[in-house]
Each structure stands twice: as C-alpha cells, then as structure tokens.
Amino acid sequence: MSFTIIPATTDHAAVINSMTHELAEFEKLPNGPQLSESEFREAIAEKNLFGFVALIEEQIVGFVMCYYGFSTWQGKFIFMEDLYVRPAHRKGGIGKALWKEVAKVAYEQNLRRIQWTVLDWNTNAINFYKSIGATDMHDRDGWLDFRLFRPAIAQFVGGNSENGV
C-alpha cells in the first residue's frame, strides 16, 4: 500500500475533526470530541495543535495530532493527543510512519520526551509503543494521569460550568 505523509494544515481540519469522532467510537468513548470544526481549524492555524496526515490517492486515511507542553524537570516536550488510522488501512505501516514524523520533530528540536496516554485495553497500541522503546510510566514510577474537567473546575473555583465538557 503506497501512502504519503504530509504536515496537517487548516485545509485538513474538517476531515481530521470528523476522524476524531471515528477514533472516539473505536475507543468506546460515547461523548466523543467536543471541538467544533472551526475550533479545530483555529487550533491548527494558531499553531496550538500540529500534526501529520497520511494520504492514499489524495484521501486522508490517518492522522496524528500533537501539541507542546513544558516540564519543569525536562523542558519543552510534545504531547501526542491522537493517532488514528482508518480500519481498512491498518497494519500497513501508516501508524508507524505518522508516529515517526512526530519523533523526527522531537529529535530535530532536541526535545527530551514525547508523552501520550493509551487506554489499558488497547493492547495493539501498547505493544507497538513498547516495540519502539516507549516506557509505561505507571509500571516504572507509578504515575497516574489525572484531569480536572470544566464542571469540576467550576465547582472548585465556585463558578459556573457553562460551555463545559
């Protein structure tokens, strides 16, 4: 299967945004993504989000989207938010090629790490990540991933949770 990997642009926003809903379905997350297409496009335009798309005959069949974070211990890093390849195009090296583009960015920018989360039942992804040398931080150091979502933020600060997730 011949494919091409190119940087994601605002022109790709609608398709990537749609594919994030496919990813949510695959991940068994019924609430799915909350971003509108215009918010997604704006995030790419303002460089809050970057990534790559995989094309087969001009059709997007996979994508990876990332953003930068900063650690007081290790400095700037990349957080990989989503990696998704449509089912009909899996097992052909597309996911690995997308991931490698992210790793190249990290390498070229001399970043100390790439970080991401994966669902514990997604053994194919876990095995892939381990095969490329990734470290499970829970197994190594006991780190757990916590999030404070909009309703809890509002409750914590005593505010209104309108427009929340």
Q: Residue 158 — pLDDT band, cuts 50, 70, 90?
A: confident
Q: Is residue 163 scored above 60 in pLDDT?
A: no
The pLDDT assigned to 161 comes to 61
DSSP state, residue 31:
T
Q: 26-48 burial string, b = 16+ CB within 10 Å, else e?
A: eeeeeeebeeeeeebbebbeeee
Q: Residue 108 — pLDDT band, cuts 50, 70, 90?
A: very high
Domain ranges across the chain: 4-134
Query: Which is it for the CA torsion 48, 80, 82, 65, positive or negative?
Result: positive
Class of domain 4-134: alpha beta
Q: Residue 148 — pLDDT band, cuts 50, 70, 90?
A: confident
Query: What average pLDDT does the segment 140-160 reach?
Result: 74
Q: Is residue 146 scored above 70 in pLDDT?
A: no
Task: Report helix, strand or coil for 160.
Answer: coil
Calpha distance 117→119 (Å, rounded) = 7
The pLDDT assigned to 143 comes to 65
pTM: 0.88
Question: What would the pLDDT profile of 50-98 be if each residue is shown by its tens digit?
Answer: 999 999 999 999 999 999 999 999 999 999 999 999 999 999 999 999 9
The pLDDT assigned to 83 comes to 96
- 152 Cβ contact partners less than 8 Å away, ≥ 6 residues apart: none
Percent of the residues in the chain that have a pLDDT greater than 90, as a whole number: 68
Which residues participate in catalysis according to the annotation?
129
DSSP state, residue 134:
-
The pLDDT assigned to 145 comes to 67
Residue recorded with tokens 């971003």: 35
